[in-house]
Amino acid sequence: MPKLHSTGLSPMVKRVSHLLLISSMALALLALTSNRRLNAQECTVAHDVVKDDVVPCTGVLWTLGATEDALTLKAVAFPKLQVDFEHLKELRILDQQRHAETIQACNGELRETRDLLNETMGLVRVPWYRQPVIVAGISFVTGVATTILIVRSL
């Protein structure tokens, strides 16, 4: 019996969203640290940070190496994830087609089984004029009318 759902898509979506988040952060930091944007206000209080220095939490601490790593990650991993995503999309479409065929086959078997059960148990649909309620009602009225006619004729 085939599986009705695939659980392999969720981790891939998580990885793609994490990589997109990292790459968007890297691009935002590149835009913020770009020299073209700093023309209006030059940062005059910036200084180098040495290991074991206490740094105030007034700005973003992001090195150029970390930015380059994030962009390298985007340049290498993003196309691979796009190919993986396309492959998973094709697999999902194939799974949907296979499941649709399976559901159609099961519905056909269910219909055949119900028909066989109805035939076996005598549950075939009876026309309205042969329903027990109608036959009993007509029989009762006929019996009463016959009794009245017999009693009047005596």
Do residues 148 and 118 both lie within one domain? no
Q: Tell me: do 92 and 71 sit in the same domain.
A: yes
Return d(Cα 50, Cα 60) in angstroms, integer: 16
Tokens of 74: 């985007």
| Inside any domain, residue 16 | yes
pLDDT at residue 59, rounded to an integer: 61
34 pLDDT exceeds 70? Answer: no
Q: Are residues 80 and 143 in the same domain?
A: no
Across 122-134, b (16+ Cβ under 10 Å) vs e yields eeeeeeeeeeeee
Q: How confident is the model at residue 124 (pLDDT cuts 50, 70, 90)?
A: low
What is the identity of the amino acid at 102? T
Q: Which domain holds residue 83?
A: 11-34+62-123
- Cα 13 from Cα 120, distance rounded (Å): 52
Residues 109 and 138 in one domain: no
Considering only CA atoms, which of 89, 98, 134 is closest in space to residue 1?
98
- Judgement on whether residues 107 and 67 belong to the same structural domain of the protein: yes
> What pTM, to 2 d.p., does this model score?
0.31
Give the pLDDT band of residue 144 (cuts 50, 70, 90). very high
